[in-house]
């Protein structure tokens, strides 16, 4: 629910107060009853409820500490493995919101992303000492593309060689004819 609402807020360019009003309108059933009972007890009267405050209270009610801790552990143990760089980045972003303190500084975010990359990609990026997350992500995409291209070329060459390499045969045949 929160993710969907944030998409709407981005589309509408909502300010903080509008966000809370819109989400109050969207609450239904048990969540609506919960909010009506909670708002006055959690937030002091006369103080505007911020979006961050609402999200914190909402998650504490509907997303247990145990579930949150599990997501933090998933984030800490996240590695690329067989995912593409793009798939890994999506998962990284998705899980990072549960561990904001671990990526509070952009340099920490970049290091954590780098450490989770496959060794063949990470090995090419470490010497660059990139501290900007966006640049690191872009370079990782480029390295992955280059590795895939090289692997495809190697596979093509291996298939050609296993078939007797007919292209070299034609070349050798022509060179022998020229030498006559």
Interval 111-125: pLDDT, tens = 999 999 999 999 999
- Mean pLDDT rounded to a whole number for the chain: 86
Distances (CA, A) of 55 to 3, 60, 78, 104, 149: 11, 8, 25, 18, 44
Torsion of CA 106, 120, 143, 94, to 10 degrees: -40
Distance of CA 83 to the CA centre of its chain: 11
> What are the domain boundaries of the chain?
2-63, 68-164
Q: What are phi and psi of 14, to 5 degrees?
A: -75, 145
Least confident of 44-48, 107-111, 141-145: 44-48
Higher pLDDT, 155 or 94: 94
pTM: 0.64
CB atoms within 10 A of CB 92: 22
C-alpha 46/C-alpha 69 separation (Å) is 33
pLDDT at 173 over 60: no
**Tokens linked to 60:** 């504490």
Higher pLDDT, 65 or 103: 103
pLDDT tens for each residue of 71-101: 999 999 999 999 999 999 999 999 998 898 9
């Amino acid at each position: 629910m929160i993710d969907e609402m944030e998409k709407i807020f981005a589309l509408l360019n909502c300010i903080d107060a509008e966000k809370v009003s819109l989400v109050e309108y969207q609450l239904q059933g048990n969540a609506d009853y919960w909010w009506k009972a909670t708002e006055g007890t959690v937030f002091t009267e006369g103080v505007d409820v911020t979006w961050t405050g609402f999200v914190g209270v909402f998650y504490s009610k509907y997303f247990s500490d145990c579930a949150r801790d599990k997501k933090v552990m998933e984030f800490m143990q996240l590695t690329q493995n067989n995912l593409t760089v793009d798939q890994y980045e999506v998962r990284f972003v998705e899980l990072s919101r549960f561990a904001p303190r671990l990526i509070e500084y952009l340099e920490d975010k970049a290091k954590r992303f780098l450490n989770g990359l496959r060794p063949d990609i990470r090995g090419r990026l470490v010497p660059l000492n990139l501290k900007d997350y966006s640049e690191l992500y872009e370079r990782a995409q480029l390295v992955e593309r280059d590795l895939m291209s090289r692997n495809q070329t190697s596979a093509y060459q291996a298939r050609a060689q296993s078939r007797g390499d007919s292209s070299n045969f034609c070349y050798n045949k022509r060179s022998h004819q020229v030498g006559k």
